[in-house]
Structure 1
C-alpha cells in the first residue's frame, strides 16, 4: 500500500509539471529581454520594474537633458504620451549628463521636467547613455541601431522588439515622419 501511495504521488507530480511548463503565462514572456531592469524614478526613492511597465507594449525611449537646445521637445513628447498611451505606447525618459547639459542635482532635473514642462510620462534617474559606461538598455539600442550622439535621441521599439528605429535630436517628436513611425508600431 505504501508503494502504491508513492507511485500515485509520483504520477501526480509528473503530470502537473508538463502542464505548468506549457501554460500560456510561462510559455510567452512578453517582456523584452533588454528591458529586464528595475530603475529608480527621477527624484524619488521608488523603483520601477521596466518589464512590468513595458511588457507587450510599444516603447519610446528618449535620452534627455535639462539644458539642451532640444529640451523644448519635452512638450511634444508629453503630447505624444497623452495622445498614444491609451493605445499602449510607453514613453520613458532617461536623463543623462553624458553631453554635459544635465543638472548636477536630480531635484533640479525633476523640477525642469515636471514643473517647467509638465511631464507626466515616466522619467528615470540619470544614467549614462553613451560609451563603455552606457546603461545596458542603451548598449542594446546602440547594437540594434545607433548610440545617441547627442541629447534627445528617440528610439521607437515595437511591442515584440523586432523593430528598433532611432531618430536623432533634430527630428521633432511632432514631425510627420515621427508620428507616422509611431502609428506604424501601434
Structure 2
C-alpha cells in the first residue's frame, strides 16, 4: 500500500501558482535630479516612455511631447523622458539637461537620469519594452506607449511626431482600455 501511495504521489504533477507577469510598473529609473523614479507611482496610467537627447535634429519633438502630456494627463496619462547618450547627442551633466529642457522647451513631465536604452547594457526597462514593442530604439525620440495595465506596449519610430494622428489614436485607445496595437 505504501508503494502505491508513493507512486501516486510521484505521478501527480505539482501545481504551482504562476508568478504574475512583469509590468512596466515593476521598473525603477534614476530621476534626473537623483533618487528613484519609480514607475509604480504611475500604476493605472497609460505611459509614453521616450528616449530623449538635447543635441539631436529631433529635439524639437520635446514641444509635442509636452503638449501630449498636458493634453492627456488629466485622463491618466504621463510622458516620461529618458535622456540617453547612446547616440552621442546628450550632455553628461544632469543639471545642464534639466536647464535645457526647462528653459528651451518648458518640460514639466518627469525626466530620468542619463540611461542606456539599447545594447547589452540597456536598462532592464528598455530591454522589456524592446521585447514587447518591436525592438530597441534605433535613434533618439523613439516612443513606447504602454497601456494602463502596464503589460501591452507599442513602439513608435523617431519619425512619428508626438501629435501624429496614429499616435494620438493609440493614446486615446490606451486611455479607454482598448488595444493599442
The alignment's TM-score, normalised by the length of structure 1, stands at 0.78
Structure 1 counterpart of 2:77:
89
Structure 2 counterpart of 1:141:
129
SS at match of 1:122: coil
Going from structure 1 to structure 2, the CA distance change for 1:177 and 1:127 (only over 3 Å counts) comes to same
Structure 2 counterpart of 1:60:
48
Which residue among 152, 166, 185 is the counterpart of 2:174?
A: 185
Going from structure 1 to structure 2, the CA distance change for 1:89 and 1:81 (only over 3 Å counts) comes to same
Instruction: Please tell me whether the aligned partners of residues 43 and 150 of structure 2 are also in contact (alpha carbons under 8 angstroms).
Output: no
Distance 1:136 1:103 in 2: 22
Greater helix share, 1 or 2?
1
Instruction: Please tell me whether the aligned partners of residues 32 and 51 of structure 1 are also in contact (alpha carbons under 8 angstroms).
Output: no
SS at match of 2:170: helix
Structure 2 counterpart of 1:24:
none
Structure 1 counterpart of 2:62:
74
SS at match of 2:144: strand
Structure 1: state its 5+ residue gaps.
1-28
Is 2:31 the counterpart of 1:41? yes
The alignment's TM-score, normalised by the length of structure 2, stands at 0.80
Distance 1:166 1:151 in 2: 13
Structure 2: state its 5+ residue gaps.
1-19, 176-181
Is 2:142 the counterpart of 1:153? yes
Distance 2:77 2:71 in 1: 9
Query: Which region of structure 1 is more displaced relative to structure 2, 107-116 or 121-130?
Result: 107-116
The structure having more radius of gyration, on CA atoms, is: 1
Distance 1:160 1:32 in 2: 11
Distance 1:50 1:163 in 2: 15
Structure 2 counterpart of 1:123:
111
SS at match of 1:166: strand
SS at match of 2:115: coil
Distance 2:123 2:73 in 1: 25
SS at match of 2:73: helix
How many residue pairs get aligned? The number is 155
